[in-house]
């Protein structure tokens, strides 16, 4: 069986079916938390941690990607 894109976009979760929206919302909650925590984290001296900043920015990128493409349907990436 050959896969086909949905509205010109390959689905992230083929197996999700009717559960795609709840999975997207759970994904947004988790990646949003990781992004906020990673970007706002400071140690006792008030310095940022490079690794937390890096993964926070990566999580923020995926958060906005899923939000604008899958949930809101405003844009199509790729």
In angstroms, the CA 73 to CA 6 distance is 12
In angstroms, the CA 22 to CA 66 distance is 12
CB 61 within 8 A of CB 15: no
pLDDT classification of 5: cutoffs 50, 70, 90: low
For 54-76, the pLDDT digits (tens) are 999 999 999 999 999 988 989 88
pTM: 0.75
In angstroms, the CA 37 to CA 5 distance is 34
For 18-59, the pLDDT digits (tens) are 888 888 999 999 999 999 999 999 999 999 999 999 999 999
Helices and strands, number each (H, E), in the chain: 2, 0
In angstroms, the CA 27 to CA 63 distance is 8
In angstroms, the CA 23 to CA 2 distance is 24
């Amino acid at each position: 069986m050959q896969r086909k894109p949905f509205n010109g976009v390959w689905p992230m979760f083929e197996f999700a079916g009717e559960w795609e929206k709840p999975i997207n919302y759970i994904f947004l909650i988790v990646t949003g938390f990781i992004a906020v925590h990673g970007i706002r984290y400071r140690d006792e001296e008030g310095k940022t941690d490079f690794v937390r900043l890096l993964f926070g920015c990566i999580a923020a990128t995926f958060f906005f990607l899923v939000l604008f493409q899958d949930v809101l349907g405003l844009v199509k990436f790729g």
